């Protein structure tokens, strides 16, 4: 992987986040404006990245193998990350509920908002497609294992799986189904999809930046120890151990590169929303997301470089 290209992409993202932070400070986000930006990113830009990757990549048996491998790898790695976080939390004198929260924050990353656009910039349409498949694996783990941990139950309800039915997931299934049937969209459609796909990176980074003042304003003090453990596991230990596993087991290089980028992502943006929904520590989730996102601008290049040496 070209580290200079990665550094350039990270730098561009960091600059856009800073611009978003300045905008959010001068013009704080309201609930309506937040929902508007999220709707554009999740329901327009991200599906277009996925469809652009599908329509620009020849779908053959080899790619289908990569897709299925990436989905299984994503589920396995994300479960491994949660397990690592839980082991780390066991060494802390905190409640069992807090250990489960730390485990989720340590294992699940922002593979949609940040990882998908970054992989598209680094690896092109095919990389975007594989990154979307990895993100689908994160969603599966989040709404099954993640929900079970927060509820403290040993089983999950199929009601929770309704959250898996979203526009990006429909784009993956519908796009791959269309490719399997040999459907090629008419020429005017492809440029529109390609143009809209380019909205994902700037909009997602602006949104994250605009959230920073909101996260910092009026939040209660969160123990540095509680923040350090999930951030250390999510940004350093989990990616490096995953890189080691990817180097030990024979793996397609395209899958390994995309997977390494995705496991290096900061804590998922949905953490605070999910924690609030299941009566967990919403503010801890928000602050972990905030600081891991800022630190990830530094850790991602380091992790990828060290991973390339393994």
pLDDT confidence tier of residue 161, bands split at 50, 70 and 90: low
The reported pTM is 0.87
Domain hosting residue 190, numbered range: 3-301
Q: Are 114 and 266 in contact (CB under 8 A)?
A: yes
Q: Is residue 23 part of a domain?
A: yes
Is 156 inside any structural domain? yes
30 assigned to some structural domain? yes
Chain centroid to CA 34: 19
Which residue matches tokens 């990350």?
81
Q: In 3D, which of 194, 211, 172 has the Cα closest to residue 38?
A: 211
Tell me if 294 is assigned to some domain.
Answer: yes
Question: Does residue 308 lie in a domain region?
Answer: no
How far apart CA 227 and CA 26 sit, in angstroms, is 28
**Residue 39 included in any domain:** yes
How many H helices and E strands in the chain? Answer: 15, 0
Phi/psi of residue 276, nearest 5 degrees: -65, -35
**How many domains does the structure of the chain reveal?**
1
CB 242 within 8 A of CB 263: yes
Q: Is the dihedral of CA 213, 219, 225, 230 positive or negative?
A: negative
CATH number for the domain harbouring residue 38:
1.20.1530.20
| Domain-embedded: residue 307 | no
Does residue 291 form part of some domain? yes
Measured torsion, CA atoms of residues 129, 132, 137, 143, in degrees rounded to the nearest 10:
-150
Query: What is the tens place of the pLDDT at every residue in 29-82?
Result: 888 888 888 889 888 998 999 998 888 888 888 999 999 999 999 999 999 999
Q: What is the pLDDT of residues 163-211, one digit of tens each?
A: 667 788 889 999 999 888 888 888 788 889 989 988 888 888 888 888 8
């Amino acid at each position: 992987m070209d580290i200079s290209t990665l550094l350039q992409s990270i730098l561009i993202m960091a600059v856009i986040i800073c611009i978003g932070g300045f905008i959010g400070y001068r013009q704080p986000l309201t609930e309506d404006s937040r929902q508007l930006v999220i709707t554009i990113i999740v329901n327009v830009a991200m599906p277009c990245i996925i469809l652009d990757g599908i329509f620009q990549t020849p779908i053959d048996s080899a790619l289908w193998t990569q897709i299925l491998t990436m989905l299984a790898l994503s589920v396995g790695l994300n479960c491994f990350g949660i397990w690592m976080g839980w082991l780390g939390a066991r060494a802390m004198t905190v409640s069992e509920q807090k250990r489960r929260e730390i485990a989720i924050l340590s294992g699940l990353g922002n593979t949609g908002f940040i990882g998908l656009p970054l992989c598209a910039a680094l690896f092109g349409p095919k990389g975007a497609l594989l990154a979307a498949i990895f993100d689908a694996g994160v969603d599966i783990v989040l709404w099954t294992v993640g929900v079970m941990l927060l509820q403290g139950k040993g089983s999950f309800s199929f009601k929770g799986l309704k959250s898996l039915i979203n526009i990006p997931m429909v784009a993956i299934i519908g796009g791959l189904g269309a490719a399997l049937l040999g459907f090629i969209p008419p020429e005017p459609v492809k440029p529109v999809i390609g143009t809209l796909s380019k909205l994902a990176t700037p909009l997602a980074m602006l949104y994250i930046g605009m959230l920073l003042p909101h996260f910092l304003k009026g939040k209660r003090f969160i123990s540095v120890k509680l923040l350090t453990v999930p951030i250390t596991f999510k940004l350093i230990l989990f990616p490096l151990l995953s890189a080691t596993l990817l180097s030990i087991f024979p793996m397609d290089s395209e899958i390994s590169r995309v997977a390494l980028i995705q496991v290096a992502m900061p804590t998922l943006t949905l953490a605070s929303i999910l924690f609030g929904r299941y009566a967990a520590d919403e503010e801890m989730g928000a602050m972990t997301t905030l600081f891991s996102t800022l630190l990830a601008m530094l850790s991602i290049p380091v992790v990828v470089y060290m991973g390339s040496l393994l």
